[in-house]
Amino acid sequence: MNGRETVLEVPDLRCETFRLRQWRIEDAPDLFEAWKDPQILSGSVAPEKRSLRDAREWISRTDVRRRAGVSLDLVVADGGDDSLLGEVGLYRFDKSRRAALISWWLTTGARGDGTATRAVNMLAEWALAGPLTAVIAEMKETNVKSRELAQRCGFDLLRAAGDSTPMAFVRRAGDPRFPQAGPVGRAGAPDTVGSRP
């Protein structure tokens, strides 16, 4: 990682039931629907404007954000018909600490069978096999499903919630509980990771 690197690679990550892929404009109606889900609105970062047109615009900027090293936003896509099951992403890259935040959500129909656990594990392991040494997940203390998910994925409590700060969990590179860094389908570790300008 050097000062000029900004482009985030798109990983080739998949398992028998889904793959992680870039957003496509055709995903806009599904994203528009997902942004109506109170749990997604409460638990994850959704934009203020959430019309179908806003969904299309948000998707159209995902590759710009990736190329600028701002965020890596990936669809969790059904292994059969490639439809949207959810999202996992990395954002707020802190180059000096070699760390980034991780985000996740699933559509309501995709929950309850371990899809998020596998997707978060895949992305975290890929990132930690590259230049990142820590992946951090922030969430409200009341977000029980996300707390359980973080713990299932080997994240440890980093910081309890404060008056105005969410609780945070961290997963670090070289964790002896995860000796095999490469998840199923990992095509290569990232060697260029950017940061917010």
70: tokens are: 């701002």
Residue 143 is a binding residue for ligand COA (CB under 6 A): yes
* Residues binding ligand COA: number (CB under 6 A): 22
Burial of 181 (0-12, 13-18, 19+ CB in 10 A): middle
Selected from 6, 71, 115, 121, the binder of ligand COA by CB under 6 A is 115
Convert 74-86 to b/e letters by CB count within 10 Å (16 or more is b): bbbbeeeeeebbb
Asked if 149 touches ligand COA (CB under 6 A), the answer is yes
User: In terms of Cα–Cα distance, which of 186, 155, 161 is closest to 173?
Assistant: 155
> Could you say whether residue 47 binds ligand COA (CB under 6 A)?
no
Segment (H or E) for 60 = helix 52-67
Among 18, 58, 104, 169, binds ligand COA (CB under 6 A): 104
Using CB under 6 A as the binding rule, whether residue 84 contacts ligand COA is answered as: no
Q: Please choose, from the candidates 96, 97, 74, the residue with its C-alpha nearest in 3D space to the C-alpha of residue 85.
A: 74
Q: Does 113 bind ligand COA (CB under 6 A)?
A: yes
- Among all chains, which residue has been given the structure tokens 């949207």? 84
**Spatial CA neighbour of 76 closest among 134, 9, 13:** 13
Instruction: Please identify which residue in 8, 139, 167, 173 interacts with ligand COA, judged by CB under 6 A.
Output: 139
Piece in contact with ligand COA (CB under 6 A), picked from 12-20, 51-59, 99-107, 169-177: 99-107
User: Which range, of 18-26, 66-74, 102-110, 169-177, touches ligand COA by CB under 6 A?
Assistant: 102-110
Least CB distance to ligand COA at residue 156 (A): 15
User: Shortest approach of ligand COA to residue 153 CB, angstroms?
Assistant: 8
